[in-house]
Amino acid sequence: MSPEHQALIARIRASADAVRRATEGVPAGRDGHSPRDAEWSVREALVHLRNTVVMVHGLRIRRLLCETEPLFADYDEPAHRQEAMGAGEPAGELVEAIVAEHAQIVRMLRGLPADRWQRQGRHPELGVMSIEFLARRVAEHAEEHAGQIAATVKALSAGR
C-alpha cells in the first residue's frame, strides 16, 4: 500500500477520534440546542454525519469494492436528517455509530491493493467518484463537522 493511502487510512481513524473529542463537554441536556438561529445543534450535526458516512460514503465504497462502475443514487440528506432527528437518538449513540463506521471503512481499505483505490462509480449529478475520493471525503467530512461541533459545544458552554 502506498504511503498516501496509509496516511489516508490514518486520517479516517483520526477524524473519528476528532468527532468523539468534539462532543466531550456538551452541557447536560443541551446537545439538541443550537447556540444561534439557523445553526445545527450537536445532535443535528451528528445525525447528518452518521447518515452521510453510513448511507453515502460507506455504502458507495462497499459498492465500489464489489461492483464494476456502479451508478450511485442521489441522497436526499435534508429529508433523512429531519426524519432521523425525530427519532431522538442520544448523541453518544450517534458518536458510536460514526466511530464504528469509520473503523469498518478502515478495515475494508487496510489491505486494498493500490490499483483498486481507483475503482470508480458515477453519480448522475456529481460525476465520477473513486474509492480514493470517497475515502478522502470520509475524513474531510468528519473533520469539518468535528470543528463545527467543537465550536457549538464552546458556545453552549459559554451560555449562548
- Residues 134-158 pLDDT 10s: 999 999 999 999 999 999 999 888 8
Of 8-22, 43-57, 73-87, the poorest mean pLDDT is in 73-87
Number of domains within the chain: 1
**Which domain range does residue 55 map to?**
3-157
Residue 5: other Cβ atoms inside 10 A: 18
pLDDT interval class at 78 (50, 70, 90): low
CATH number at residue 52: 1.20.120.450
Q: How do residues 9-20 score in pLDDT, each as one tens digit?
A: 999 999 999 999
Residue 5, amino acid:
H
Write down the mean pLDDT value for the chain. 90
Report the alpha-carbon distance of residue 109 to residue 101 in Å, rounded.
12
Q: What's the predicted TM-score (pTM) here? A: 0.91
pLDDT value, residue 89: 83
CB 35 within 8 A of CB 155: yes
- Mark 122-133 as b/e (b = at least 16 C-beta within 10 Å): ebeeeeebbbbb
Q: What Å distances lie between residue 51 and 84, 98, 111, CA to CA?
A: 9, 9, 25
Distinct helix (H) and strand (E) counts, the chain: 6, 2
